[in-house]
Structure 1
Amino acid sequence: MALIVGLESLGIPLPGEAVLIVASVYAATHDGNIAMVIGAATVGAIVGDNIGYMVGRKFGYSLVLKFGSYLGLTEGRVKLGQYLFQKYGGAVVFFGRFFAVLRFLAAFLAGVNQLAWPRFLVANALGGLVWASIVGISAYTFGRGIHELQGPVGAVAFVVAVGIVIAIFVYLRRHEAELQAQAEASLPGPLPGFERRD
């Protein structure tokens, strides 16, 4: 389970949360140890995210320089990403663990945007522990009944996640110029690599 959760955290599309739910239900119905299940999921999340962070920190920025223009990533937008991660990076990493898409993107983006590793580590470890505990204990408590709830709960969580992503996108689009001005004030001057492309 730790391996699957860790690989999902690296960006490989594996069902880490589903595996955690199944393992927790199995522990509930077979006198298993839920603490070991939560521990394995937490370790997998932390290790996988840290590898994703290191990959993003080492290679992500050069990938943005090389391919970012194809995705509309101007220097201003890259600087905006760095500014937002400086300001809210810990929250993004912590809460990203609870949303499927962010679960494997947050760590990589934290690395790309140079979030300080100690901040990342604390937010990542707390996020992994809280996520594994909430999902694991909930599944363990409901035991076999979790199968009846998983569909509706999953659907509601998906709708909420989509709603949050849309709200953030709309906010960023409406306030992009203002946020870019704040980012420029916080990070004045050209970003490394962009001055060579003009």
Structure 2
Amino acid sequence: MAPPLPGPLVHLAPLLTHYGYWAVGAVVLVEDFGIPAPGETILIAAGIYAGAGQLNIVAVTVIAFAAAVIGDNIGYLIGHTGGRAVVHRWGRYVYLTPERFRKAEEFFTRHGGKIVVVARFVEGLRQVNGIIAGTSGMPWRRFLVFNAIGAALWVGLWAALAYTAGTHITAVYAVITRYQLYALIALGVLIAALVLRHLLRRRHQE
């Protein structure tokens, strides 16, 4: 029996239960060429399932890696062949406005190839880094190398952490249940402190 997924992962349970590896590959793939999809979230959820014995962690890792690399290369192809005109025309449908794209492209150009690796771990950049690499004129082979390195690190990190959590899912839930009240209190105090800080800053500026 598949383990219950915690909090924000719970909505992915039916998808993983019915489609398994196909779900992992499809969601990671489409996220990586710009379509808003929970690629990172489903990778973590699949890792937990694997740790609980419902999926094979090697298969999850290989499929997620392949989907990530292929998805980014589709993005590169879109950017390389269609250029900014495609982004400006269709980007708004995937929440990629011209302003957001301009800022991302400037950041990308400033940091060069290494940002392809780093972008894998940054929400927003992960979805468009292939497109930006294509529009900015980065050589495809260079992009492919950095992209593969980033995908390997990203998949390896989240799959390993999630798999470890999945193998100890009963203990994890016991800890969550035991300390959730304290965590909620701490979160409430933190939010109150941030609001107070914001109000004091506004008063000081006035």
Same fold (TM over 0.5): yes
Number of residue pairs matched by the alignment:
143
From 150, 153, 161, the equivalent of 1:130 is 153
Cα separation, partners in 2 of 1:29 and 1:95, compared to 1, 3 Å: same
1:91 Cα shift? 1.2
User: Following TM superposition, by how much is the alpha carbon of 1:32 offset from its aligned partner in structure 2, in angstroms?
Assistant: 3.7
Q: Distance in 1 between matches of 2:28 and 2:172?
A: 20
Partner deviation per Cα, 1:20-53 (whole Å, 9 max, x = no partner): 1111111111164212111111001000000000
Secondary structure at the aligned position of 1:13 is classed as coil
Matched, 1:28 2:30: no
Question: Aligned equivalents of 2:88 and 2:41: distance in 1?
Answer: 36
CA contact (8 A) 2:28 2:40 kept: yes
Alpha-carbon shift at residue 12 of structure 1 (Å): 1.0
Q: Name the counterpart of 1:43.
A: 66
The alignment partner of 2:113 has SS state of helix
| Match in the other structure for 1:109 | 132
From the superposition, tell whether residues 88 and 28 of structure 1 become closer, same or farther in structure 2 (CA, over 3 Å): same
One-letter amino acid of the structure 1 residue matched with residue 161 of structure 2:
S
Q: CA RMSD in A?
A: 3.2
Aligned: 1:61 with 2:84 = yes
Does the 8 Å CA contact 1:85/1:115 hold for their aligned counterparts?
no
Equivalent-residue separation in structure 2 for 1:34 and 1:107 (angstroms): 26
CA shift, 1:88, in A, is 3.0
Query: Do the aligned partners of residues 108 and 31 (structure 1) sit closer, same or farther apart at CA in structure 2, a change above 3 Å counting?
Result: same
CA gap of 1:142–1:50, structure 2 versus 1, over 3 A, is same
Alignment gaps of 5+ in structure 2: 1-23, 91-96, 177-182, 184-206
Runs of 4+ more than 4 Å apart = 63-67, 70-73, 84-87, 145-148
Shift of 1:64: 7.1
Once residues 67 and 150 of structure 2 are traced to their aligned partners in structure 1, the CA distance between those partners, rounded to angstroms, is 12
Matches within 5 A, 1:1-198: 1-30=24-53, 32-63=55-86, 71=98, 85=108, 88-143=111-166, 144=169
Higher relative contact order (CA 8 A, sep 6+): 1
TM-score (norm 2): 0.60
Structure 1 length-normalised TM: 0.62
Q: Distance in 2 between matches of 1:21 and 1:65?
A: 32
Secondary structure of residue in 2 paired with 1:100: coil
- Is the contact made by 1:8 and 1:15 (CA closer than 8 Å) also made in structure 2? yes
1:166 aligns with none
The structure that has the greater radius of gyration is 2
- Cα distance, 1:86 vs. partner? 5.9
Letter in 1 for 2:135: V
| Consecutive unaligned residues in structure 1, runs of 5 or more | 153-198
